[in-house]
Structure formats: structure tokens, C-alpha cells
């Protein structure tokens, strides 16, 4: 198939490169000429495991030529189907901001006005239920001067890509969700995905666009709530002096619970769980429904960084003292600090008057944008030196190896928010839920 992808973020670029790897001809359209140039040079514009190899293989000067990028929407005219992979950020009140999607749909609709034959548009961005049908499709019709179902088809295909494993998640999906409001759009989506479905033997969910939109939110909100539930139970364990991880290991043997996403600790961050959970809560409330469990999951997640600092307060008065924060990324394997639990932790330490020194293997530059005036160390050892206390917020493997470095602390007190530091003699150690 000839495919156009609008948007080159970690979803758009990953999807474009993977579609090319499946044998399709792909053009990635982005407003950023720098990103376009990077891809056409055969380089990956974002850090994702496996992506540089795919972009080099399909877009590089000696590549297959199945992937290229452009800033020009007219490239759509030479393709059969367009995937919209544009950001849907969060408004201040938690509701979804569709302005970028609406602008993309407008430009796409204007372009489709010039296309004489059938075209399929697939929404891949995470949008609240009803958006494809009630917002995107009307824009495409108005701007193209044509009617959906007659001149073009519309589908919705949510992604389930995790940062750091996006390529592997795409090529080894646990499901492929094809939401379509007309049969031709469904047929086109099968033409695109059948090579993947066959190669990965992936289950296919065929539904309408509104249900496909909700499947994405339900997936993320459920996983976020599962973490908040194990954190709620973990907090109870802590009050009883019980190790929540021993409890989690036991209940994971019940295959109705499973073993994934049972790591209690300082909570969930990232660009998706917070945004998507808030967006579906806001959308539900607009329908006059009060999603109490989801709201409690968010409230409990907000509580965890404060519980971490309360445990530190129990051992150290941090006012005017040097405190090390180990880990700034929202999870290991990424430099992304969006909604990282380290942000409220650093904020809370500064409110206590602590002198914060922070360390992360790769996320320092991004965190400096949030806190330009705290000290950043080049290593965990340097951060710990002379520190009156330390908190661990990201479970980087290197923190599991820390041992003698704690001896350089002025007062070896460590509160571990991710169960990554080994307890040892001479260390006052507190686990958040163990
Ligand atoms: C998530 C979803 O997993 C993915 O399917 C969706 O498409 C995008 O959002 P991502 O945000 O990249 O992916 O990260 P993920 O690996 O899911 O972790 C999210 C957060 O949960 C991280 O802050 C992580 O530290 C935390 N987490 C994860 C826990 O606190 N405990 C766990 O057991 C697992």
C-alpha cells in the first residue's frame, strides 16, 4: 500500500518505519523541516530501541527507499491511506486538547479536495470517544467538499506503544484494533495490517470508531488504576510492616490478576497514563457520569510522592540539608520526564527548604527545564557525597549496584520509591511499600 503518516513523534515515526518494514511505501509528513531532514538522511529523530536501524534501512541513502519524509501535505495525493498521528495534549482542566488534530484534519481535508479517487483516513492519535465521528469526519467533509462513505472512508486504529519499546510493541502486538465506520475503510485497514497480523499471529478486533477510541482509554486507565490499586494495598502493607512485593508475588499467581503492573512504589508518570486518565475522566463528567474509581486512582497516584517524603521526614529534618534525588525519568530506559514522579518529589523537598542535588543517567537536560536552579550531579556517587538523605524515584538498574557510595553520605538515610536499592548494614533504609 501507499501510506501517508501525518506526525513524526514517537508514534508517527515508529509506525512509519514499521509500515515500511512490512513492505508498504510510506511518506511521513511533519511541519518540522529538521525532523523531515533527519528521516531523509536515514536517521531516527527520536530515541526508540530498534528505530534507527529501521529508518536507516528504509529511508537512508542506501536504503530500500520505502520510507521518506516531507513537510508537504500534497504527498497525501500519491497515497491510498493517511494515518493521523498528531499530539492530543491535556488542557489545564485535564480535558483533551484537539486543536492540533483539528488543524491536521483541516489541512488533510483541503488536500483531499484535490484527490479524485477514494482515500481512507485513519485516526491513530488517542482521542476521546466520538471524536472521529463527530469532530474529525465533519472537518474532512467540510474542507474536501465531499461526503464520508462516498469519496473517502474513515477508520480509527489506536496504538498501544510503550516509550522505550515502541518498535517491539508495534511488531509484536497483543491485539490489532480496527475501528471503521464503513466497509471500504475496514478493507483498506486490513490491506495495511494483514502482513503484521499474519507475521505476529495477532488477534484482530473489528469494531466501530467510537468503540476503538474507548478501547484505548480503557486499556490505559485500567493499567494506571491497577498500579494505583497495588499502591493502595502497598500503603496498607507498609502500615502493617508487611512487604507489598511478597504479597504481590503471591497474588500474581492468580491468573486473573497476572504478574505485570504490580510493582508498587512512587507511582505512574509519562506522557500517556496521566493525560489519558484525566481525559477520559473529563469526558465522562461531560456525560454527567462521575468516574469515582478512576478519580481515586489519580488521587492515590498524586499521594505517593508525598508518602515518600513523609518517610524521609521521619528520619531527617531536611531543611538546609543536602538531599540526593536518584532518578528523574518517568521510568527507566527513557530521558522523558513528562509527569515524572521526581517532579513532585523535588518540589516537596524544595518546599521543605532542602538543598537538592539530582542525578539521572540520561534525563538531566529535560529535568533542568523544570528546575534550572538545583544542582545536578554527573553520577549517583557524586549526588550521594555529603548528602544528609537520599530518595530513589526511578528504577534504573545502576542504582541496584550502589553500595559503598552510601558510605560517602553525611547521614546514610535512603528512602526507596522503586524497590531497586539493596538494603545493607550501616544504611537506614525505608521502602515506600515494603
Ligand atoms: C503506557 C502504556 O503501557 C502503553 O500501552 C500506552 O500506549 C502508553 O502509555 P508508557 O507510558 O510508555 O506506556 O510507560 P509504562 O511502561 O506503561 O509505565 C507507565 C508508568 O507506570 C511509569 O511511570 C512506570 O514507572 C509506572 N509503573 C509501571 C509502575 O509504577 N508500576 C508498574 O508495575 C509498572
Instruction: Give the ligand 1 atom nearest the CA of 164.
Output: 12
Q: Whose C-alpha lies nearest to ligand 1, atom 10?
A: 162
Q: How far is the CA of 332 from the centre of ligand 1 (A)?
A: 10
**Could you tell me the pLDDT band of residue 268, with boundaries at 50, 70 and 90?**
very high
Contacts of 257 (CB under 8 A, 6+ apart): 251
SS3 percent helix, strand, coil of the chain, rounded to 5, is 45, 15, 40
- Give the contacts of 129 (CB within 8 A, at least 6 positions apart): 210, 211, 213, 214, 217, 283
Ligand 1 pocket, 419 CB below 6 A? no
Give pLDDT tens digits for 199-218: 999 999 999 999 999 999 99
Question: Does position 23 have pLDDT exceeding 90, yes or no?
Answer: yes
pLDDT digits (tens, 9 = 90+) for 174-196: 999 999 989 999 999 999 999 99
Residues near 125 by Cβ (< 8 Å), separated by ≥ 6? 7, 11, 84, 85, 86, 87, 88, 101
User: Residue 261 region, left (φ>0) first, then alpha (ψ -120 to 50), else beta?
Assistant: left
Distance from residue 261's CA to the centre of ligand 1 (Å): 8
Q: In this predicted structure, what is the pLDDT of residue 10?
A: 86
Cα of 197 vs centre of ligand 1, distance in Å, is: 24
Whether 85 is catalytic is no
Contact 323, 389 (CB under 8 A): yes
Closest ligand 1 atom to Cα of 126? 7
Q: What would the grid cell of residue 414 be?
A: 535512603
Q: Which atom of ligand 1 is nearest to the CA of 161?
A: 7
> Does ligand 1 have an atom closer than 6 angstroms to the CB of 160?
yes
Q: Is the CB of 262 under 6 A from ligand 1?
A: yes
DSSP β-ladder status, 152-156 and 176-180: antiparallel
Q: What's the confidence (pLDDT) of residue 60?
A: 85
Q: How confident is the model at residue 324 (pLDDT cuts 50, 70, 90)?
A: very high
Residue 165: all three cell numbers together: 519499546
Asked if residue 340 has its Cβ within 6 Å of ligand 1, the reply is: no
At residue 62, the pLDDT reads 85
Per-residue pLDDT tens for 45-60?
Answer: 988 999 999 999 999 8
Q: What is the pLDDT of residues 408-421, one digit of tens each?
A: 999 999 999 999 99
422: CB partners within 8 A, 6+ apart: 400, 402, 403
Report pLDDT for 342: 98
Nearest one of 369, 301, 372, 362 to 333, comparing CA atoms: 362
Query: Which residue's C-alpha comes closest to atom 14 of ligand 1?
Result: 162
Q: How far is the CA of 419 from the centre of ligand 1 (A)?
A: 16
* 163 Cα to the center of ligand 1, angstroms: 8
| CA 340 to ligand 1: nearest atom | 23
Amino acid at each position: 500500500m501507499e501510506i501517508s503518516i501525518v506526525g513524526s513523534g514517537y508514534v508517527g515515526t515508529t509506525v512509519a518505519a514499521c509500515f515500511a518494514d512490512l513492505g508498504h511505501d510510506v511518506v511521513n509528513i511533519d511541519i518540522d523541516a529538521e525532523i523531515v531532514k533527519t528521516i531523509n538522511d536515514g536517521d531516527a529523530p527520536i530515541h526508540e530501541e530498534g528505530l534507527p536501524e529501521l529508518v536507516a534501512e528504509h529511508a537512508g541513502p542506501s536504503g530500500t527507499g520505502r520510507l521518506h519524509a516531507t513537510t508537504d501535505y500534497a504527498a497525501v495525493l500519491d497515497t491510498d491511506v493517511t494515518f493521523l498521528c498528531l499530539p492530543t495534549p491535556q488542557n489545564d482542566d485535564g480535558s483533551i486538547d484537539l486543536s492540533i488534530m483539528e488543524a491536521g484534519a483541516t489541512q488533510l481535508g483541503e488536500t483531499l479536495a484535490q484527490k479524485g479517487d477514494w482515500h481512507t483516513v485513519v485516526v491513530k492519535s488517542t482521542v476521546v470517544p466520538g471524536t472521529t465521528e463527530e469532530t474529525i469526519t465533519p472537518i474532512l467533509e467540510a474542507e474536501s467538499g465531499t461526503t464520508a462513505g462516498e469519496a473517502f472512508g474513515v477508520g480509527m486504529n489506536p496504538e498501544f506503544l510503550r516509550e522505550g519499546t515502541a518498535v517491539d510493541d508495534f511488531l509484536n502486538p497483543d491485539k490489532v484494533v480496527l475501528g471503521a465506520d464503513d466497509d471500504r475503510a475496514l478493507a483498506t485497514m486490513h490491506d495495511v495490517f494483514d502482513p503484521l497480523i499474519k507475521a505476529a499471529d495477532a488477534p484482530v478486533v473489528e469494531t466501530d470508531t467510537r468503540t476503538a477510541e474507548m478501547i484505548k482509554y480503557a486499556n490505559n486507565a485500567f493499567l494506571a488504576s491497577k498500579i494505583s490499586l497495588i499502591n493502595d494495598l502497598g500503603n496498607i502493607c507498609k502500615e502493617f510492616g508487611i512487604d507489598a512485593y511478597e504479597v504481590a508475588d503471591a497474588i500474581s499467581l492468580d491468573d486473573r490478576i497476572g504478574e505485570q503492573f504490580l510493582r508498587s512504589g512512587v507511582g505512574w508518570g509519562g506522557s500517556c497514563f496521566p493525560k489519558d486518565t484525566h481525559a477520559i475522566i473529563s469526558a465522562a463528567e461531560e456525560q454527567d457520569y462521575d468516574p469515582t474509581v478512576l478519580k481515586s486512582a489519580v488521587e492515590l497516584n498524586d499521594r505517593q510522592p508525598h508518602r515518600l517524603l513523609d518517610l524521609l521526614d521521619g528520619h531527617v529534618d531536611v531543611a538546609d540539608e543536602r538531599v540526593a534525588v536518584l532518578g528523574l525519568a518517568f521510568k527507566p530506559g527513557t530521558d522523558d520526564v513528562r509527569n515524572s514522579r521526581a517532579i513532585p518529589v523535588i518540589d516537596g523537598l524544595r518546599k521543605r527548604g532542602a538543598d537538592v542535588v539530582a542525578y539521572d543517567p540520561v534525563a538531566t537536560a529535560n529535568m533542568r527545564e523544570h528546575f534550572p536552579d538545583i544542582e545536578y550531579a554527573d553520577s549517583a556517587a557524586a549526588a550521594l557525597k555529603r548528602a544528609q538523605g537520599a530518595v530513589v524515584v526511578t528504577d534504573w538498574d545502576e542504582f541496584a549496584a550502589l553500595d559503598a557510595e552510601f558510605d560517602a553520605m553525611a547521614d546514610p538515610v535512603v528512602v526507596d520509591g522503586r524497590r531497586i536499592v539493596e538494603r545493607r548494614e550501616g544504611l537506614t533504609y525505608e521502602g515506600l511499600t515494603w
